[in-house]
Amino acid sequence: MASLHVGNLGEFLREQRRNAQLSLRQLADAAGVSNPYLSQIERGLRKPSAEILQQLAKALRISAETLYVRAGILDEKDRTGVEVRGAILADTSINEQQKQVLLQIYESFRKENGHTDDASSAEAEDAPSTEAKPTNP
């Protein structure tokens, strides 16, 4: 009965959880969902709501948009951009400030090349600005 998108979502969530070195129970606690429910999501038996996906994304420190695309909630029209942002946010070898700077740089290159996506650039805008502002004497 599970759809292809839900199965892909479950596999992706399991991979992200393992990359974050979290047990199923730890992620369930961090996201505020039950352990059995999270297990069912990972096995592709349940399709979580957008709210649950957002909680999971926050707990995994990845882009909620990435999970929305995997779950079939968002269109895959700009999957590459979503995956790049998700990869940056999931990288445990860099700190939060470095992630936000990378996201800002990435978004500036996309805008320069004519690829704008308001929903995805909101993440970079939420972060405190680290770019230098020119001053006029």
pLDDT digits (tens, 9 = 90+) for 9-67: 999 999 999 999 999 999 999 999 999 999 999 999 999 998 999 999 999 988 888 88
User: Model-level pTM greater than 0.75?
Assistant: no
State how far the Cα of 121 lies from the Cα of 71, in Å rounded to an integer: 20
DSSP secondary structure letter of residue 103: H
Other beta carbons within 10 Å of 129: 11
State how far the Cα of 57 lies from the Cα of 75, in Å rounded to an integer: 18
Tokens of 136: 């006029």
Supply angle C-alpha 131, 133, 135, rounded to 5.
160
Q: How far is CA 33 from the centre of its chain?
A: 18
